[in-house]
Homo-oligomer: A and B are copies of this chain.
Amino acid sequence: MATIRTGVSGEPLDMAGLVASFDQGRTDIGAVVTFTGLCRDEDGRLDALELEHYPGMAEAEIARIAHLAAERWPVTDLTVIHRHGRVAPGEPIVLVIAASKHRHAAFEAAEFVMDFLKTQAPFWKKEHARDGTATGWVAARDADDEAEARWGKPS
């Protein structure tokens, strides 16, 4: 049975704290893969990202995706936390931690979660430019749909 932790947060995310919260004293984990998605400043152009989300559905979709991953790969621990609200460059937007006895399960579960979050979790990014002028909604990328599609249809 995998221990699954998921959620959304309006406050800055703390990867080191999350990792420490589950692997302290554990001696049954062979591999831990973490993913941190960070807000980039786009060569200094960006002041912040504003992350809108669908409260209720966002939490439910993240949990659904994490459970799909935990059914598909033998992970022992899977943590997925997504930020909402105003995020400054350099701050995390999303954290994924996958632990397993073996490395490929941990890598694939983490990458699967990210590919599905991108296309399935109800979050939308709006850019706020440093010069106060150009702001706009980030467009979805075809590459993200293709990344999701390569995992096949989950049962």
A residues engaging B (CB < 8 A)?
Answer: 15-16, 19-20, 23, 25-41, 43, 89-90, 101, 103-104, 106-107, 110-111, 114, 147
Interchain CB contact under 8 A, A25 and B107 = no
A79 CB, nearest partner CB in chain B, Å: 13
Interchain CB contact under 8 A, A111 and B101 = no
Beyond A19-B15, A107-B110, whether A32 also contacts B38 by CB under 8 A is yes
Q: Of B23, B25, B89, which is within 8 A of A27 by CB?
A: B89
Contacts of A110 in B (CB 8 A): 33, 107
Q: Of B29, B89, B107, which is within 8 A of A38 by CB?
A: B29
Closest to A28 in B: B40
A127 CB, nearest partner CB in chain B, Å: 14
Complex CA distance for A91 and B110, rounded to whole angstroms: 22
Beyond A25-B90, A27-B40, whether A103 also contacts B35 by CB under 8 A is yes
Contacts of A32 in B (CB 8 A): 34-36, 38
| 4 closest A-B pairs by CB | A27-B89, A27-B41, A32-B36, A16-B16
